[in-house]
Structure 1
Amino acid sequence: MTAPKLRFKEFDGDWINLKYKDVLTIKYGKDHKLLNDGDIPVYGTGGVMRYVDQYLYNGESILIGRKGTIDQPKYVNEKFWTVDTLFYSQIKENSTPLFLYQHALQINWLGLNEATGVPSLNTTSINNVDIAIPSKEEQTKIATFLSAVDKKISQLSQKHELLSQYKQGMMQKLFSQQIRFKADDGSEFGEWEHVKLENLVDLISGFAFKSDFFAEDGNKLITPKNFTTTGKANFTRTNTKWTTEISDEKYICSPNDLLVLLTDLTQSCELLGKPILLSQGDGNVLLNQRIVKIIPNKKLEKTFLLYLLLTDDFHELIVSTASGTTVKHSSNKVLQSFNFYLPCLEEQTKIANFLSAIDQKIEVVAQQIEQAKTWKKGLLQQMFV
């Protein structure tokens, strides 16, 4: 019997086994450079590229990458133009466009890549993809349900973005003293003191661990790939390095240690100078080269310093003084030269706690997004044949 594992109870009977060529017709995109500006979107594999005054197609369509990003199909329902690296499609009468879109999301498109360089798909590969379809009524029911899940994920993603923007805005106002906290007794805190970072911290530079000792297990290394723009480390199965090399104890970093990245492989320098505060989940890690551990003195609250180093002012200092062409570098000297205004410890703590509370809300929403995506992935596997 050809039927999915998970099905709405009002439907039964076998689904029909077909190929993609039986449910849609693949069409090629075209060059857009000679078109005039307008209000019709031109889609590339990365999204909307520009707006023009002509369209290739008007209506519902599934867009599938021909070259480059081939594993992110899109659904559109409007007048549009696609570039020559993006296929569009005409949907046949036996199929519901949103049902086909949801089906396309669970296809391993990269597995159909036949190119040795830039990933590429051809019409033959797409046309031969297997698909089983039920009645159009059942297709619509499935598509409507899964689209509601997508809407929920989109709402959570928007909430995450708004919270992140709110945090950035509050950081700007707090560190510029546009907003000030008061003491617990309601009194005003004193003036902030102009200071230089070198007078408030000690630095420990990382060690050049030898690649000969890299292994499948051992001691975990912190590397540039584990840094983010949010102040949190990111260790995954694919980006985590391990070493069996014996090193000095001073290179062992523990939860609640503050680290800063002094090298960046990207031209944008997005991660250069970014700090992370190790969590309990990160565990102990070894301090790799081009990463520095910051040990603040008693005048400086560590979490306050984390958020201070996440500000645009600090990042601009690091990027503007970076050296190197392909790989950008900063230094302990530049880090130490950072000048800023410092409140008293009690106000530092209030600022750190306030921003940490926002981060906790952001983290809860991020977890909800991941849970919803995992649930959606399971639904796709069970609601299609």
Structure 2
Amino acid sequence: MEKLLPQLRFPAFKGEWESKKLGDLLEFKNGINATKEQYGRGVKFINVLDILNNDFITHEKIIGSVDVDQSLADKFSVNYGDILFQRSSETREEVGTACVYLDKDISATFGGFVIRGKKIGEYEPVFLNKLLKTDLSRDAMTSKSGGSTRYNIGQEILNSIKLNLPYLPEQTKIATFLTAVDEKLTALKQKKSLLEQYKKGVMQQIFSQELRFKDDTSTSLSTGSGNDFADWEEKKLGEICEIAKSGGTPTSTNKEYYNGDIPFLSISDMTSQGKYLYFTSNHISALGLKNSSSWLVPTDSIIYSMYASVGFVAINKVPLATSQAVLNLIFKSEVNLEFMYYTLIDFQKNIAQFITTGTQGNLNAHSVKGFLIQIPSLPEQTKIANFLTAIDEKINHCQGQIEKATIWKKGLLQQLFV
């Protein structure tokens, strides 16, 4: 029989972990089923969204409330260390999702789509919360769930779930360590969010011309010692383009037109990659290009979505072809490409007036080429583009750190638990 030992362990701890059933640690109860008139006031009321949207729950994080008398609130109370489980879900992946309640000062109650596990055994709450979120624990839950249109998990199944735990001191050590890892991740996410908020605010000020650069070597806004740049000019988007042309789609029934060497862009390629486009999920052949209205858009053009994700902007870093859902813009020499990217991002707030009515609102090439754009001189365009690109680089660096830390944390969880 394989020993219950983790791959990664703090040096002070030895010996095997112990296998227990969840029912040895928790006593289960289904939640309150109230009428719709009772919701929106009263005591805090934990529902499925609180479980799904939080790593742990405190009183202030709870979204909803329910009006019940005190005796019922006491009967369905949630206290520090209790674990809440999602009882029912449309997807197997979410059923049985667990989240711990970590507020020592005030209790809450819980709803009918939630099962409360009241603490009856010895465990460290943060440790058990982390353990129940591991792939092993989640697989044990979801594999036992039943249902056809909805997946369900009940108290009997929860009672039977087997977990492997160390003694309490090791649980506490692991919980403290993983809490520190989570705090690091949270700090990185907050840093990224603050940078994104700063970028949004400064873009509004730049494109409203509330903030301006000076004609000098300074990279700061409105603080340089040089002269003011010239006034911005209003021009139609089409006037500053050498080419402004949508793509086309080769006949889908002709297999010879597809799976060639020419990257063929979809809207999902744009939304998944962001600012720069380096690849496409689909390709067409030279024959497909020739026998359609599609064309090969050169590197470093603006790719502008007119359908689906309307107003989404990107810059292609490889030559590619696009469908008619995209307007491809090649600018004149007096226009900075990166500046136009940010200009069109800022212009998104104005596009509602240009969208055609119908089951799905779209733009058309004529409307987009008619956008009235404020254009500064090329040197000021370049300063603005460099300034905003530097912020984006910081945001991307933060995102990279978040992704690395998330992968590292996942690896830790696989090795710290049995």
TM-score normalized with structure 2 length: 0.79
Q: Which of 11, 15, 18 is matched with 1:16 structurally?
A: 18
Higher relative contact order by CA 8 Å / sep ≥ 6: 1 or 2? 1
Contact 2:39 2:65 in 1 (8 A): no
What letter matches 1:277 in structure 2? I
Paired position in structure 2 for 1:357: 390
Cα contact 1:229–1:274 (8 A) shared by 2:
no
The aligned counterpart of 2:245 is: 204
Residue of structure 2 equivalent to 1:316? 349
Aligned to 1:173: 205
Which letter maps to 2:132?
A
Aligned-residue offset at 1:216: 8.3
Question: Cα–Cα, structure 1 residues 155 and 262, in superposed 2: closer, same or farther, change >3 Å?
Answer: same
CA shift for structure 1 position 85: 2.8
Alignment of 1:142-181 (within 5 A): 142-181=174-213
> Are 2:259 and 2:285, in contact at CA under 8 Å, matched by a contact in 1?
no
Are 1:278 and 2:303 an aligned pair? no
Q: Give the AA of the match of 1:21.
A: G
* Residue in 2 that maps onto 1:292: 327
Shift, 1:111, TM fit: 5.0
| Displacement after TM superposition at 1:306 (Å) | 0.6
Partner SS for 1:77: coil
Mark the CA change 1:123 to 1:331 in structure 2 (over 3 Å): closer, same or farther. Answer: farther
Shift in CA distance, 349/234, structure 1 to aligned 2, threshold 3 Å: closer
User: What's the RMSD between the two structures over aligned residues?
Assistant: 2.9
Cα deviation code 1:56-97 (max 9, x no counterpart)? 323223333223372654333233333333333223322221
SS at match of 1:360: helix
Pairwise CA distance, 1:53: 6.2
- Measure, in 2, the Cα distance between the counterparts of 1:61 and 1:178: 52
Paired with 1:118 and 1:233, the residues of 2 have a C-alpha distance of 40
Number of the residue aligned with 1:194: 234
Structure 2 partner of 1:223: 266
- Stretch deviating more after TM superposition (39-48 or 82-91): 39-48
Corresponding residue for 1:59? Answer: 80
Measured at CA, do residues 116 and 287 of structure 1 come closer, stay the same or move farther in structure 2, by a change above 3 Å?
Answer: farther
1:341 to 338, 359, 374: 374
Q: Secondary structure at the match of 1:251?
A: coil
The CA deviation string for residues 125-165 of structure 1, in whole angstroms up to 9 with x for no partner, is 44443310110111111111111111111111111111000
Q: CA deviation at 1:180?
A: 0.2
**CA distance in structure 2 between the partners assigned to 1:286 and 1:8 by the alignment:** 55
Question: What residue number does 1:377 align with?
Answer: 410
* Worse-superposed segment, 204-213 or 329-338: 204-213
Give the paired residue count.
371
Selected match of 2:296 from 252, 276, 296? 252
Q: What amino acid maps onto 1:40 in structure 2?
A: K
> CA–CA distance in 1 between the matches of 2:196 and 2:357?
31
Q: CA deviation at 1:103?
A: 1.1
Residues 85-119 of structure 1: CA distance to partner in whole angstroms, max 9, x if unpaired?
Answer: 33332233222211111112212455555444345
* CA–CA separation in structure 2 for the residues paired with 1:217 and 1:86: 52
1:131 aligns with 2:131: no
Q: 1:254 to 1:197 in 2, by over 3 A?
A: closer
Residue deviations 1:321-375, cap 9 Å, x none?
3235543311112211211321101101100100000000000000000001000
Highest Rg: 1 or 2?
2
**1:215/1:241 contact within 8 Å kept:** no
Alignment CA distance shift 1:231-1:27 (3 Å): same
Whether contact under 8 Å (1:258, 1:306) holds in the other structure is yes
Check 1:112–1:49 CA distance in 2 against 1; reply closer, same or farther (3 A cut): farther
Deviates more, 1:74-83 or 1:37-46: 37-46
Q: Once the two structures are superposed, what CA deviation does each residue of 1:289-314 show, in whole Å capped at 9, x if it has no partner?
A: 30121111123211111111111xx2
Identity fraction in percent: 30
Q: Does 365-374 or 340-349 show the bigger shift?
A: 340-349
1:304 matched to 2:368: no
| Greater displacement, 286-295 / 116-125 | 116-125
Asked if the contact 1:195–1:340 (Cα under 8 Å) also holds between the matched residues in 2, the reply is yes
Change (3 A) 1:325 1:9: farther
Q: Using a 3 Å threshold, how does the CA distance of structure 1 residues 200 and 29 change in structure 2: closer, same or farther?
A: farther
- The answer on whether the counterparts of 2:250 and 2:289 sit within 8 Å (CA) in structure 1 is no
